[in-house]
């Protein structure tokens, strides 16, 4: 039930619910930032990781390299994600270490920040194993032929 409105109190309009649409990197005001072409591609790839899934720095790097026809460099992907000015809309929190463990978030690796990243992922329905790593069924690979770490095929 709605609360009665008091005299002199204005009722705040509610924002319309946004449609659940897949964002593209072109949806962001990139011209306002000094972002390299490489970082733009990393952010575009990160946007493809669906909610409830994660990918690894290696997988993101391989996908960026495939698109740019360059060598793969997971460390450069990590640096681009560390400087992500569009978080959480560009979901850098969905990228984890190849070991499927949480490694860093917002350029930090302390326990508090990793717990924050874990809570965000759990809220998105990412599953964790008893040892604290990501459950293999929650890993998103951009190429269907990619071997997922931690699976019987790995």
137, burial (CB in 10 Å: exposed 0-12, middle 13-18, buried 19+): exposed
Cα separation of the two ends of the chain = 55
Burial class (CB in 10 A: 0-12, 13-18, 19+), 111: exposed
Q: Catalytic pick from 73, 92, 138, 153? A: 92
Q: Is residue 92 annotated as a catalytic residue, yes or no?
A: yes
Count of C-beta atoms within a 10 Å radius of residue 151: 10
CA distance 96 to 124: 15
Active site residues: 92
């Amino acid at each position: 039930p709605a609360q009665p409105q008091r005299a002199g109190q204005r009722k705040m309009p509610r924002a319309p619910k946004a449609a659940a649409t897949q964002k593209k990197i072109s949806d962001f005001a990139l011209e306002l930032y000094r972002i390299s072409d490489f970082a733009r591609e990393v952010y575009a790839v990160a946007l493809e990781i669906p909610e409830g899934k994660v990918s690894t720095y290696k997988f993101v790097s391989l996908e960026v390299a495939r698109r740019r026809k360059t060598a793969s460099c997971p460390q450069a992907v990590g640096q681009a994600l560390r400087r992500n000015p569009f978080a959480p809309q560009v979901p850098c929190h969905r990228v984890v270490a190849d070991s499927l463990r949480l490694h860093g978030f917002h350029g930090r690796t302390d326990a508090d920040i990793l717990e924050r990243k874990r809570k965000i992922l759990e809220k998105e329905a990412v599953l964790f194993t008893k040892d604290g790593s990501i459950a293999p069924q929650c890993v998103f690979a951009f190429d269907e032929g990619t071997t997922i770490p931690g699976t019987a095929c790995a």
